[in-house]
Amino acid sequence: MRIQPWFYCVSQRAGGDGSYMRKNRLAAICLLILSIGLFGCSAEAGEETIEIIRGEAPRREEGLLRIGLIQTGKESDWRDANTNDYLNNFVEGRGYELIYVDGNSSPERQVQAMRDLVWQRVDYIILQPIVETGWDEAIKEAKQAGVPVIVADRQIAVDDGEYVAWIGSDFYDEGKKAVRWLENYLEEENRLNEEINIVLLEGTEGATAAIGRTEGIVEMVSAHENWKIVESRCANFMQGEAQSVMEQLLEEIDSSDIDVIISENDNMMFGAMKAMDRKGVSYGLEGDIITISFDALGEAFEKMIEGKLHVSVECNPLLAKGVEKIILDLQQGNPVEEKRYYVEEKVFDYKNASEYIGERVY
């Protein structure tokens, strides 16, 4: 795997003569930034700034397909599983040279990554966008350069003729599955006609997963006149942020006014649970609050077995094989038959978690 060795940094004094001879301190900073795979360098030292100069394009490894992977970042355990799936699949022993780019939760960084990978003359780009918007120009540039782009996980707001295909989850359907499970559960508990107050923890604004799940949840909840989403707050799919959001929410409303918490990923639910533990709020099978989340991580299975989490709707992070199939079809000259490929997913709850936990690979 290659991590951006094709840049070097030089400093340029404002109003100076443009010489590349600069202070060692700035050079050290720049080398440090390069070592962690950033695309740009920035530092301040009086009037000095650091700029990026491209060197020669990296040498192509003989016989290997060069794949550029633009990832969102490291915001959750789901993302780690998703990243590792790519790193374990696109290896040299299987005929690939993978150039991995951590988007570090920055859409701007991802767009720059797209342009840099095109410049490097990669064979294919796998794009896992943070948000849907802002991709028009970069996608067109890749297409004009003849670099096929496969979009995975979240989607982009670009005409699908500009990229090869998209593969991922049906997030809208996931949202509906979660509320459908709640309907069945409340019916079993003879509570279907009760007043139900729901707190919704949303993912990153503008991300396909957050958009789809929210739409599915809201649509299903609105079908019940006696159900109400009393609070809806963004926690960016992050556990620590969700804990802070939930702690603040519990300062503002009484926990007795919350019947259900729906978290748009497991990690945010884990954070909300920590907040409730600190506040002495009961939840889960033995508590007063029904807990619903998404992803179906291994830790979620443990919490379902413990009775702390009622249900987790699966979001399958293992996309590498599906992406590889698209690439191999293109390599063989076969047309890509579909523009959208949905991965298989299930719903797991406290009743069946112990049955399936041994099969989980993430």
Q: Measured between alpha carbons, how far is 301 from 199 in angstroms, rounded to an integer? A: 22
Q: What are the angstrom distances between the C-alpha of 146 and each of 58, 118, 119, 141, 337?
A: 18, 9, 11, 9, 19
Q: Measured between alpha carbons, how far is 187 from 242 in angstroms, rounded to an integer? A: 29
Asked if 19 and 72 sit in the same domain, the reply is no
- Three-state secondary structure call for residue 152: strand
Whether 59 is covered by a domain: the verdict is no
Q: What is the pLDDT of residue 337?
A: 85
Asked if 185 and 310 sit in the same domain, the reply is yes
* Residue-wise burial string across 32-61, b where 16 or more C-beta atoms lie within 10 A, e elsewhere: ebbeebbbebeeeeeebebebeeeeebeee
Asked if 188 and 266 sit in the same domain, the reply is yes
The pLDDT tens digits of the residues spanning 169-213 come to 999 999 999 999 999 999 999 999 999 999 999 999 999 999 999
Asked if 164 and 177 sit in the same domain, the reply is no
Q: What is the CATH number of the domain that holds 94?
A: 3.40.50.2300
Q: What are the angstrom distances between the C-alpha of 111 and each of 139, 160, 164, 171?
A: 9, 17, 18, 24
Asked if 97 and 149 sit in the same domain, the reply is yes
The pLDDT tens digits of the residues spanning 30-63 come to 434 434 443 333 333 333 222 323 334 455 567 8
Asked if 246 and 269 sit in the same domain, the reply is yes
Beta strands per DSSP E along 235-354: 260-263, 290-295, 311-314, 340-342, 347-349
Structure tokens at 227: 């159900």
| Domain count along the chain | 3
Residue whose entry in the numeric block shows the structure tokens 């707190």:
199
Whether 343 is covered by a domain: the verdict is no
Edge-first strand listing for the sheet containing 165-168: 96-102, 65-71, 124-127, 149-152, 165-168, 340-342
CB 217 within 8 A of CB 294: no
Q: What is the pLDDT of residue 104?
A: 95
Whether 241 is covered by a domain: the verdict is yes
Structure tokens at 84: 């590792």
Question: How does residue 6 score in pLDDT terms, banded at 50, 70 and 90?
Answer: very low
Asked if 194 and 322 sit in the same domain, the reply is no
Asked if 18 and 87 sit in the same domain, the reply is no
Q: What is the pLDDT of residue 1?
A: 55
Give the structural domain span for 76.
65-168+317-331
Asked if 154 and 284 sit in the same domain, the reply is no
Q: What is the pLDDT of residue 361?
A: 86
Chain Cα centroid distance, residue 236: 10
Give just the sign of the alpha carbon dihedral 90, 96, 99, 103: negative
Q: What are the angstrom distances between the C-alpha of 245 and each of 6, 174, 190, 206, 312?
A: 41, 23, 31, 19, 20
Give just the sign of the alpha carbon dihedral 197, 265, 208, 203: positive
In this structure, what are the phi and psi dihedrals at residue 161, rounded to the nearest 5 degrees? Answer: -75, -10
The pLDDT tens digits of the residues spanning 256-311 come to 999 999 999 999 999 999 999 999 999 999 999 999 999 999 999 999 999 999 99
Whether 340 is covered by a domain: the verdict is no
The pLDDT tens digits of the residues spanning 113-163 come to 999 999 999 999 999 999 999 999 999 999 999 999 999 999 999 999 999
Pick the range with the lowest mean pLDDT from 24-33, 119-128, 159-168, 222-231: 24-33
Q: What is the pLDDT of residue 61?
A: 64
Question: How does residue 29 score in pLDDT terms, banded at 50, 70 and 90?
Answer: very low
Q: What is the pLDDT of residue 335?
A: 87
Structure tokens at 299: 């830790």
Whether 323 is covered by a domain: the verdict is yes
- Say which DSSP state 2 is in: B
Q: What is the pLDDT of residue 64?
A: 96
